[in-house]
């Protein structure tokens, strides 16, 4: 059973806790647990969002731990990084039978602890449950946020990638009308309203504009045009509501 100390030096000099201060605090905490820290791992300049296992010193620490070892750090935020990564780290330490003490939480957050001859989960289950919930929320909110953003951008007429519809062209972030192609669309709509077949419309377009398009292509142009008109109508309606709350 070995006690190991993890020291993290933030890039922000003003809020940085020195190596000596962290060593003293961790050694004192280890002593309260009946342990002595045998080795310190000092992490310098790594971003908090970087997963613990991907940091240089943290990776070296994890590579050498054995079942029954104890890891001690001053602050949980220096270890967990994010809800998702926190869950992964705690589960991996639990599986390896390694204790993790974050002094600001005052608990072993990876393993159950024994108190007064009664096994107690302490804060480990609570922390894991909270982190699991937060991880699910982060994933869910991220997906919902992306979808909501795309819906909003689409309503604003922004180009979101993919094939550019016939009758339109990309300018900056937006789709704008291509005048020449829009005129062709008007002809297609007029011919279709006069009950021309798709194949007859194809021949007419080849004669008038040398446009090579299939009868299925003509059908898609009409569908896309109807969809764009519907979207434009919604944007105008939304704009009126904003002006007249």
Task: Provide the pairing of β-strand 118-120 with 113-115.
Answer: antiparallel
125 plus 53 within the same structural domain: yes
Q: Is the pLDDT of residue 245 over 80?
A: no
Single out the residue of 9, 12, 40 nearest to residue 26, CA to CA: 40
In order, the DSSP letters of 155-178 are HTTB--SSPPPTTEEEETTEEEE-
73 plus 194 within the same structural domain: no
H-run or E-run covering 206 = helix 198-209
Q: Domain boundary at 138, 172, 199, which?
A: 138
d(CA 130, CA 109): 12
What is the domain range of residue 26? 3-138
pLDDT-derived band at 41 (thresholds 50, 70, 90) equals very high
H-run or E-run covering 20 = helix 19-32
Q: Supply the mean pLDDT for the chain.
A: 81
Question: What is the model's pTM?
Answer: 0.52
pLDDT at 105: 82
Instruction: Name the 3-class secondary structure at 72.
Output: strand
200-240: pLDDT as tens digits: 999 989 998 888 888 888 888 888 888 877 777 776 666 55
134 plus 158 within the same structural domain: no
Among 36-45, 136-145, 167-176, 216-225, the minimum mean pLDDT is found in: 136-145
Domain-embedded: residue 149: no
112 plus 174 within the same structural domain: no
pLDDT at 35: 94
130 plus 160 within the same structural domain: no
Domain-embedded: residue 9: yes
Q: How many domains does the chain have?
A: 2
Neighbouring residues of 119: CB distance < 8 A, sequence distance ≥ 6 = 112, 113
pLDDT at 244: 57
Domain-embedded: residue 146: no
pLDDT at 129: 56
pLDDT at 242: 53
More confident residue, 10 or 35: 35
Q: What is the phi/psi pair of residue 48, to 5°?
A: -60, -30
């Amino acid at each position: 059973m070995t006690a190991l100390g993890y020291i993290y030096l933030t890039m922000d000099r003003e809020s940085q806790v020195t190596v000596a201060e962290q060593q003293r605090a961790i050694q004192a905490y280890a002593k309260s647990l009946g342990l002595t820290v045998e080795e310190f791992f000092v992490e310098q300049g790594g971003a908090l969002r970087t997963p613990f296992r991907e940091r240089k010193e943290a990776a070296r620490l994890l590579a050498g731990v054995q079942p029954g070892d104890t890891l001690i750090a001053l602050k949980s935020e220096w270890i967990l990084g994010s809800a998702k990564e926190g869950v992964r780290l705690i589960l991996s330490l639990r599986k390896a039978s390694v204790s993790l003490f974050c002094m600001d939480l005052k608990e072993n957050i990876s393993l159950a602890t024994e108190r007064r001859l009664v096994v107690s989960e302490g804060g480990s289950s609570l922390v894991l449950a909270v982190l699991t919930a937060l991880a699910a929320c982060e994933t869910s909110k991220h997906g919902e946020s992306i979808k909501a953003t795309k819906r909003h951008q689409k309503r604003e007429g922004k180009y979101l990638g993919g094939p550019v519809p016939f009758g339109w062209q990309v300018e900056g972030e937006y789709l704008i009308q291509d005048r020449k192609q829009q005129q062709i669309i008007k002809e297609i709509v007029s011919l279709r309203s006069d009950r021309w077949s798709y194949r007859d419309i194809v021949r007419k377009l080849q004669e008038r504009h040398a446009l090579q398009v299939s009868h299925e292509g003509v059908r898609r142009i009409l569908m896309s045009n109807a969809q764009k008109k519907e979207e434009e109508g919604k944007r105008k309606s939304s704009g009126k509501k904003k002006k007249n709350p």
